[in-house]
Amino acid sequence: MDLRGHLDLLLLEVLARTGEAHGYALISALKEGSEGRFDLPEGTVYPALHRLERSGLVSSSWSADAPRRRRVYRLTDAGEAALAAERREWRSFARAVELIQKLPPRISTAQRAGHLVPRVQSLSALAWSRWPLAAFSVARVPPVRRAPCGLASHPAVLQPPSQDLGHGTLANLTPRLAAPR
What domains lie within the chain, and their CATH numbers?
A: 7-101 (1.10.10.10), 132-140+155-181 (no CATH)
d(CA 76, CA 22): 15
Lowest mean pLDDT among 41-45, 63-67, 94-98: 63-67
The DSSP string of 53-98 is HHTTSEEEEEE-SSSS-EEEEEE-HHHHHHHHHHHHHHHHHHHHHH
d(CA 16, CA 11): 9
pLDDT digits (tens, 9 = 90+) for 106-135: 777 766 666 555 555 555 565 555 555 544
Mean pLDDT of the chain: 75
Q: What is the pLDDT of residue 136?
A: 47
Percent of the chain residues past pLDDT 90, beyond the cut: 46
* Average confidence (pLDDT) over 150-158: 46
Kindly report the three-state secondary structure assignment for every residue of 157-173. EEECCCCCCCCCCHHHH
* Average confidence (pLDDT) over 80-88: 95
Higher pLDDT, 56 or 155: 56
* Average confidence (pLDDT) over 98-110: 82
- Is the per-residue pLDDT at 62 higher than 60? yes
Cα maximum dimension of the chain: 110
* Helix, strand, or coil (residue 39): coil
pTM over 0.85: no
d(CA 130, CA 167): 11
pLDDT digits (tens, 9 = 90+) for 15-32: 999 999 999 999 999 999
Alpha carbon distance, N-terminus to C-terminus of the chain: 73
- Is the per-residue pLDDT at 78 higher than 50? yes
Q: What is the pLDDT of residue 11?
A: 95
